[in-house]
Amino acid sequence: MNLAEGVQTISFALLALMMIGAALGVVLLDNIVYSAFLLGGVFISISGLYLLLNADFVSAAQILIYVGAVNVLILFAIMLVNKREDFSPVPRRWIRKGGAALVSVGLFALLGTMVVQTPWVIPANLPATTSTLIILGEHFFSDYLLPFELASVLLLMALVGAVVLARREYVLDDEASVGEMPQLPLQLPERPKEPVALSGTSAPSR
């Protein structure tokens, strides 16, 4: 093993540990905002793994689309909705946890079997090919132009729907408060002011 292979192996191990740790944080943390930020860490780790596979365009698209669009959209939805609800205990919660654990173990076994049985040996003499950016650009603006534009419209509809859902709660509150006494906005208590003596007059004696 030469120096380049050693650096690649160490980078793969660090990125894999970072991705697994962030993914566990997404599932196990109670704060949904922290889970959303850790989801961005998972996406960045996957982007680094794509770089190790010489997939430069897929790595950049992973950051631009998933971190810069999807993850930010999730954070916007969480912060716009801002719904406060007291969590009540779920009856027979262990059944749901057991089912989720079985599904996760089954998916892990399936993916592990696929990784072990797939031949990962790359031939030494590969023919020179055109850059992936040129090929993807030609397909995006020729064969897949309509699906590409429909995906952008779908993301815009999702953003508008998140804004509408966030505003609907305030509209319902205004309608429910019709006929009731208006509530004053929250204000901080002011500090009592000391009397100030005017110029030429003495301060009142206490």
pLDDT at position 84 is: 64
What residue type is 51 in one-letter code? L
**List of the chain residues with pLDDT < 70:** 1, 81-87, 122-131, 166-206
pLDDT for 15 equals 92
CATH of 7-82, one of 2.60.40.10, 1.20.59.10, 3.30.565.10, 1.20.120.1200: 1.20.120.1200
pTM: 0.56
Half-sphere exposure of residue 3: CA atoms within 13 angstroms, side-chain side: 0
The SS3 of residue 117 is helix
The counts of H helices and E strands in the chain are: 7, 0
